[in-house]
């Protein structure tokens, strides 16, 4: 399988950085995009500080991973915008032509990247759900996929809720069935966090309402994920049959984000028993 971004395109952007930027701009582009800097192996011959810096960022990337490539494309997007601001339209056109050869498009200042081979676990890192401060990373990834691949965003939303619930249950040493679906996992977490009405003092107002809200959010995520399995893959459709749209994906991503953040914030606030 070929790299998503070809070596020719990567080399052209690297040389463009060398010709049109300073070290600080290179670092800002890649760091803002979330691309880590790797040390070059001993003996690696790369001439020039700017070329070496770009190479260091490139070395940290798995060029078969749509998620990691998307981050690099975010950095490239910043570079293209800079070139436009500096009137380097010929340079922009050259780089855009190379992206087009890789089936990556540039429209209205945005690099449009369709990643048909992206997998759910590339958008959702289960270990990130353990850390509240990093939960937003997964949420951002899912929201970025809404317009480009609604079905993927829906499936990833379900995975996000599952990862969050499992992280909370594991942290609290609570066993759960291996085949538990999203509503089951949310129910277990709600019980563990005393969010279920039956486990909360009658003096606490809104306990039953909280349970209803959590259940509704969980069922929304689960229901849309089930629809994704029916309509999201693109296989076996009748002529003219449409799949899930970005509006469905936004609904699912919104429900999953609110639910995951609420559960994780509650777990962190109450601490490990």
Where does the pLDDT of residue 253 fall: very low under 50, low under 70, confident under 90, or very high at 90 and above?
Answer: confident
Distance CA 80, CA 86 (A): 10
The sign of the torsion formed by the CA atoms of 161, 159, 175, 177 equals positive
Residue 27 has what pLDDT? 96
Query: Which has the closest alpha carbon to 170: 155, 192, 198?
Result: 192
Model pTM score: 0.49
pLDDT tens profile 117-160: 444 444 445 444 455 555 666 677 777 777 777 877 887 888 88
Q: What is the mean pLDDT of residues 15-28?
A: 96
Residue 73 has what pLDDT? 93
- Domain ranges across the chain: 7-112, 120-270
Tokens of 29: 């582009």
Distance CA 221, CA 219 (A): 5
Q: Which residue has the tokens 């960022």?
A: 57
pLDDT tens profile 149-194: 787 788 788 888 888 888 889 888 999 988 888 888 888 988 888 7
% of the chain surpassing 70 pLDDT: 79
Query: Which has the closest alpha carbon to 113: 154, 66, 80, 150?
Result: 66
pLDDT tens profile 205-229: 666 677 778 778 788 878 877 776 6
Distance CA 266, CA 218 (A): 16
């Amino acid at each position: 399988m070929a790299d998503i971004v070809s070596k020719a395109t990567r080399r052209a952007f690297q040389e463009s950085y060398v010709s049109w930027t300073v070290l600080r701009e290179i670092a800002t582009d890649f760091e803002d995009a979330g691309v880590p800097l790797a040390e070059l192996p001993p003996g690696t011959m790369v001439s020039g500080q700017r070329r070496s810096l770009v190479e260091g960022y490139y070395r940290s990337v798995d060029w078969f991973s749509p998620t990691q490539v998307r981050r690099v494309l975010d950095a490239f997007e910043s570079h293209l915008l800079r070139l436009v601001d500096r009137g380097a339209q010929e340079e922009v056109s050259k780089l855009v032509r190379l992206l087009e050869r890789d089936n990556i498009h540039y429209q209205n200042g945005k690099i449009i990247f369709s990643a048909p081979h992206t997998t759910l676990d590339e958008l959702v890192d289960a270990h990130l759900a353990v850390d509240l401060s990093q939960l937003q990373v997964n949420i951002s990834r899912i929201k970025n996929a809404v317009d480009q691949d609604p079905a993927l965003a829906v499936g990833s939303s379900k995975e996000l809720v599952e990862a969050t619930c499992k992280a909370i249950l594991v942290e609290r040493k609570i066993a759960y069935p291996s085949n538990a679906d999203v509503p089951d996992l949310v129910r277990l977490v709600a019980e563990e966090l005393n969010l279920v009405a039956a486990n909360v003092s009658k003096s606490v107002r809104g306990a039953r309402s909280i349970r209803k809200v959590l259940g509704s959010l969980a069922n929304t995520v689960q229901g849309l994920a089930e629809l994704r399995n029916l309509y999201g893959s693109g296989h076996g459709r009748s002529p003219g049959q449409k799949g899930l749209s970005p509006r469905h994906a936004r609904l699912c991503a919104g429900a999953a984000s609110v639910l995951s953040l609420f559960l994780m914030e509650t777990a962190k606030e109450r601490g490990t028993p």
